[in-house]
Structure 1
Amino acid sequence: MTAALLAVGSAGHAEDSLEALRVLTERPALLLRLDAFIRRESWYSTGRPAPSLTETDPVALALAASHADGRVRERVVRRMLSRPHPEMMPFLVLRTSDWVRQVRESACAGLAVLLHENPLSATAATVRTALLVNRRRRGAFAHGQLRASLLAESGTALSGRLLTAPEPMVRRFVLDTATHRLGLRDLAVLAESDPDRQVRARAAEAAARQAVWTDQVELLRRLARSRHAEVRITALTGLMRTGSPKDVVPFLDDSSALVRALAREAARRTGTDSPAYYRAAVQAAEPQVGAIGGLAETGSRSDGPLLTPLLDNPAPQVRVHALRALRSLDAVSVPRVTVLLRDGSTAVVKEAAVTLAPSATQLPADLLWDMLADPQRPAVRRAGYRLLNRRDRLTALRAALLVSGDPHPRLAARGKTDATTQIRALAPNPWRTRPVPSLDAGPAEAAELLALAEQRRTEITEGVVQLLRDVVRLVSGSR
């Protein structure tokens, strides 16, 4: 990499050199690794002369800032400060955490002056580098100086520029530092449209706080309609604080559990019966998943008959949430849920297996073995394995050995791990103080297990197969 960078710089085109530095500083973590690499290489290359610090080669200047010789680094810092470029700022930030006091003090003083004279010289790459350097022992200066620049009277333009940076960590830094620089409308736009969840949450909190102080209920209602739950909960909390609980009650069937909890408090204040609302909502032609979740949170086992018909709903998400609600209310009908183990939706199959796990011993063994052998759907095989694994030790080990050869890599890896763990737990060891669990298998069953393990020797290794041989020998000798 260093050779490629130097090749760009040696071409003599300053703009190309600066563009190369811009590309490099877009990845500050790589910049820190490059800094350590150059220092190590230059330390061991004792016969190599110190780099010449030419004014026409920004790349060579930037790389020389990582030289092992502190006197070289100090001269580089002075040269950077004499002809400052925004592309060089991240390299200057690195030197503010330098282990040599003279280099560090020169870089810190220069950075403070540059940011005071021209705050816009702090690019997004400068902020990202400062955030990484801040984790170092002496790395707090650049972070603090950037905060001071944002908080200064001239920090509005810098805040606006950094909020357009593509890196979420830069936008979070601005919002954590200088939300007072942003207007209420700008914060609302960020809360509604930013792709980063944490940025949206920070912007929504700041916007809701300002809206509450200035009694702008309409803006809170607008944010409450956001498709992002973290924005809705903040806006609805603001509506509660402004004394508008009636605006929060319609969110009783929201998809977010936190929003539903807040809406139920608003319903309590306005005299609305939340459980009755949920019972009516789940019987609608197209029930909302939030209503199903709300009934699970407020209902009782007696509400099971209202939820069971939803297992036939054509929407997979409705069936999934109905299963979760039945499990939460301890109102599971084992025969009714068993049908869903071969549902057309992978999510429903998985949820049905989770729901039936406590009742695995009540399920027909033939059904579960058939699921484990399903030739088409890994989700069905995974569900069958989950339930077989909840039965007796012999069944669990046989299922694990079968699954270790599954064509689906993740399922095969799980079977291999489970089979290896179970066999090692069964194998006798002289150093083991706890009693070895019993396989509870007859000679014929034990021999079948060993034959299956022999077929899977590639997956579970020969050593594990030998441990199973020892277990089978003990079983055969005890009969």
Structure 2
Amino acid sequence: MDVLERVRLAVAAARARDGGALEELIAALLAAGAAGDHGDAIEALRVLTERPALLLRLDSFIRRESWYSTRPVPSLTEVDPVALALAASHADGRIRERAVRRMLNQPYPEMMPFLVLRTSDWVRQVREPACAGLAVLLHENPLLTTVASVRTALLVNRRQRGSFAHGQLRASLSAESGTALSETLLMAPEAVVRRFALDTTTRRLRLRDLAALAESDPDRQVRARAAEAAARQAVWTDQVELLHRLARNRHAEVRTTALTGLMRTGSPQDVVPFLDDPSALVRALAREAARRTGADSLAYYRAAVQAAEPQVGAIGGLAETGTQADGPLLTALLDNPAPQVRVHALRALRNLDAVPVPQAMVLLRDGSTAVVKEAAAALAPSAAQLPADLLWDMLTDPQRPAVRRAGYRLLNRHDRPTALRAALVLSGDPHPRLAAQATTDATTQIRTLAMRPWHTRPVPSLDTSPAQAAELLALAEQRRTEITDGVVQLLRNVLRRAPGSQ
């Protein structure tokens, strides 16, 4: 097997925390270094440092293991960079100190994460040369910094003495010579690295670069921070067109920042068209803009929900500004062919406390899972008034887990015997998540009802008729495997003292 392939396999096993994986990783790394190919040795270090969390685990493992290991102390030569890097984690502080000084003599970018680790070393004689050396190296050549170095510094920064490398990297990026480095880090695949680079270099980035990050970065935090910086610069330089461009972005956090910038430039009329935006925060900004321009946002929402194809943002806006008197407008949307319209209409009716129970009950069997879920949420306050036969029929629906879940949710709003019966029935559901949830609920309910000698608070009673008690006990016996024998016995004891079972 190729030495690098062995290292990759060992890294994968160590990340999965397989037994003995760290020992195999050390052996694989040493084999790559001993093979004599300097390029392979450096590549082996790169494969390891791409996983900074694993690097920290390996560092701790070597420190513990090296006290009693029969493995000879690694040779501190610059010819074998792998042995040198591993020696920097040795339990003996004198060996770590010599390893640090050797690393500083001929630094490689792949060695930097190991040096970053030693800047948080608990031994002063190791920590101080590592910190001083890192500062000098980054000053002389900022491009020695790699994505792996930054990720390692971010992890080490959580330690008691770990802030030096983090601060030094920030200083290196903030310097004029760090422009090329910041561009590299802003293209890193890891979001934490891009956030770090953006937070450090925001004031030096050009407006177009900030706008590009806001529009295209896959990480929400990077987009939000870049959009904020871009909007601030656009407001200062009166580049309203850029704000309009960002306001059309598909991400809500970018639109919010851009529209705030338009408000600051004195252009609230450009924000009003976003009254029916899908984002609640954007709609709130648009309503403030409407107030400043004298537009009636509530009238707009009432007209918008009556359109042939109402926007879900308009439905949400009516829920945020309307009253119970707007219930009929929203109820009419429950027959809309678009599932998302029905979902938002139910949500809006629930927010306005205007849920029409008969129409919402029909949607408990809707073809859309999202609609069924929202209908159950809307009907939850009225669950006790719903036909019991309907709910029990839903609980045993042979086809759709979403319907069974909705029935269970509504039966849980009934009295204790009904809720317990529903949990016992559903604990045998073929859907594993539903069965697990119902089993947990049934066990919790029974344990809550059981009397304990050390309980000082009153135990709630389970008021059941003899027929109900017999049914509950029969169900529990059927579910003995799921809820355990002990819980079945607890239920038996609970039913014996139930007032209705005498």
CA displacement, residues 396-424 of structure 1 (integer Å, 9 cap, x when unaligned): 01001001111111111111111111112
- Look up the equivalent residue of 1:397 and give its one-letter code: L
* Alpha-carbon separation, structure 2, partners of 1:228 and 1:58: 46
Residue 230 (structure 2) pairs with residue 199 (structure 1): no
Asked whether the equivalents of residues 443 and 476 of structure 1 are also in contact (C-alpha less than 8 Å), the reply is no
Contact 2:243 2:261 in 1 (8 A): yes
Alpha-carbon deviation of 1:376? Answer: 0.7
1: CA distance between counterparts of 2:400 and 2:187?
45
Matches within 5 A, 1:44-443: 44-45=68-69, 48-443=71-466
- How many residue pairs are counted as aligned between the two chains? 478
Q: Per the alignment, in what secondary structure is the counterpart of residue 154 of structure 1?
A: helix
Match of 1:42 in 2: 66
Query: Take 1:435 and 1:285, find their aligned partners in 2: how far apart are those partners?
Result: 57
Residue 439 of structure 1: how far off its partner (Å): 1.4
Quick check: 1:150–1:156 contact (8 Å CA) kept in 2? yes
* Offset of residue 472 of structure 1: 2.1
Structure 1 stretches of 5 or more lacking a match? none
**CA deviation vs aligned residue, 1:40-69 (integer Å, no higher than 9, x gap):** 110223x55422112221111111110111
Residue 437 (structure 1) shift: 1.9
Supply the AA of the counterpart residue of 2:29: L
Instruction: After TM superposition, give the deviation of residue 431 of structure 1 in Å.
Output: 2.4
Q: 1:453 is aligned with what amino acid?
A: A
| SS of residue paired to 1:44 | coil
CA distance in 2, matches of 1:439, 1:475: 6
Match of 1:10 in 2: 34
- Give the aligned partner of residue 17 of structure 2: none
Cα deviation code 1:2-22 (max 9, x no counterpart)? 111111111111111111111
Task: Give the deviation of 1:447 after TM superposition.
Answer: 1.0
8 Å contact kept, 1:404–1:416: yes
> Structure 1 residues 234 and 476, CA, compared in 2 at 3 Å: closer, same or farther?
closer
- Give me the whole-angstrom Cα distance separating, in 2, the residues matched to 1:212 and 1:341: 49
Contact 1:443 1:472 in 2 (8 A): no
Task: Give secondary structure in 2 for the equivalent of 1:354.
Answer: helix
* Residue in 2 that maps onto 1:19: 43
* 8 Å CA contact 1:133, 1:140 repeated in 2: yes
Cα drift, residue 208 of structure 1: 0.4
Corresponding residue to 2:486 among 457, 463, 466: 463
Residue 478 of structure 1: how far off its partner (Å): 5.9
8 Å CA contact retained: 2:465, 2:500: no
Q: Describe the superposition over 1:408-451 as per-residue Cα deviations: whole angstroms up to 9, x where unpaired.
A: 11111111111111112222223222222221111121011101
Cα distance between partner residues in 2 of 1:117 and 1:429: 71
Question: What is the aligned partner in structure 1 of residue 22 from structure 2?
Answer: none
The answer on whether the counterparts of 1:443 and 1:475 sit within 8 Å (CA) in structure 2 is: no
Q: 1:167 to 1:227 in 2, by over 3 A?
A: same
Deviations 1:117-136 (A, max 9, x none): 00011011111111111111
User: Alpha-carbon deviations, 1:301-355, whole Å to 9, x = none?
Assistant: 0001111111111111111100000001111110110000010010100000010
Query: Percent identity between the aligned chains?
Result: 84
Structure 2: give runs of 5+ residues left out of the alignment: 1-24
- For the 8 Å contact 1:179–1:206, the answer to whether it is kept is yes
Task: Please state if 1:449 is matched with 2:460.
Answer: no
Offset of residue 477 of structure 1:
8.6
Report the residue type matching 2:130 in the other structure: A
